[in-house]
Each structure stands twice: as C-alpha cells, then as structure tokens.
C-alpha cells in the first residue's frame, strides 16, 4: 500500500505548554500505533510543526481530527506527498520541545532565517531536514 507523508504548521492558542504537549503525545501514541501512523510533533515559540506518515487514508483521517482540536489555530499544510519509506518509523508520535538548548537553536538557524522557531516561513524540505536532525538529537538523549 502506498505510503504518504503530511507536514503542517499551526499556532498554539495562548496558555498551551509542556503538560498539553504530554497529553497530546499520550493520546497520539494510543491512537496512532494501531493504525500505523508514525511521526513527530515539535513545539516551541507557540508553534506546532508536525509530520505524519502512514497510509493515505489514515494520514488524512488523523489530520482531519487534529484540525478540529481547539488547542491550535491557523493550520497550514506544508507538504502532502507519496513516499518510498518512512523517516520517523521508530515513533508512533514523538513530541519534542524546541527549547533554548544551543544544539536545537543551531539546528533551527541552519534551516531558517533566525533562531526563532517560525515554521510558517520554512519550505517543506527545510521542515523535513530540521525535524530529521532534531530526531537525531533526541535519539541520542
């Protein structure tokens, strides 16, 4: 069956913090695992950047459910594409916080115009490379 990858960005509503991120990650792990969705959710500077991988149907169903969540607004689809293989297959949904750790901010600067997390202005390739590198950092932690 064809595999798809979806990347989107959205803005967290005010008051969203680390505990919400944990709640989202726990729900995501519970829901994503049985339907074969893998991916990563990054959160920082009041922005979410998420990548979802799986079958076209399950990626679309999951994305549609996420769009209805009141914890974020202004979602923008960055990429929806057929892929040969998964990049984030180890994680049913890994949530990572884009904090002020120098390694994270340096990676951000590598793929965007400043060290502020502003994925609305990043290309699909930049987002993917950024998430990929962040995954490497967290795998070694």
Where does this chain bind ligand FMN (CB under 6 A)?
24, 27-28, 31-32, 41, 48, 50, 62, 65-66, 69, 71-72, 93
Please report how close the Cβ of residue 102 comes to ligand FMN at its closest, in angstroms: 26
Please report how close the Cβ of residue 21 comes to ligand FMN at its closest, in angstroms: 9
Please report how close the Cβ of residue 14 comes to ligand FMN at its closest, in angstroms: 14
**Nearer to ligand FMN among residue 52 and residue 104 (C-beta):** 52
CA separation (Å) from 95 to 39, 53, 91, 135?
9, 15, 9, 10
**Nearer to ligand FMN among residue 3 and residue 66 (C-beta):** 66
**Nearer to ligand FMN among residue 71 and residue 132 (C-beta):** 71
Phi-psi region at 14: left, alpha or beta (left = phi > 0; alpha = psi -120 to 50): beta
Inter-axis angle of helices 124-139 and 102-111, nearest 10 = 160
Distance of alpha carbon 21 from the chain centroid: 12
């Amino acid at each position: 069956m064809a595999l798809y990858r979806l990347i989107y960005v959205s803005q967290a509503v005010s008051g969203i913090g680390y505990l919400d991120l944990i709640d989202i990650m726990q729900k995501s792990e519970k829901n994503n695992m049985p339907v074969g969705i893998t991916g990563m959710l990054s959160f920082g500077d009041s922005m979410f950047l998420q990548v979802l991988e799986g079958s076209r149907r399950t990626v679309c169903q999951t994305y549609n459910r996420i769009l209805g969540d009141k914890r974020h607004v202004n979602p923008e689809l960055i990429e929806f594409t057929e892929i040969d293989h998964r990049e984030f297959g180890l994680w049913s949904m890994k949530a990572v916080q884009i904090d002020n750790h120098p390694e994270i901010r340096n990676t951000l600067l590598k793929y965007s115009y400043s060290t502020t997390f502003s994925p609305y202005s990043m290309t699909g390739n930049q987002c993917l490379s950024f998430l990929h590198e962040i995954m490497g950092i967290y795998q070694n932690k």
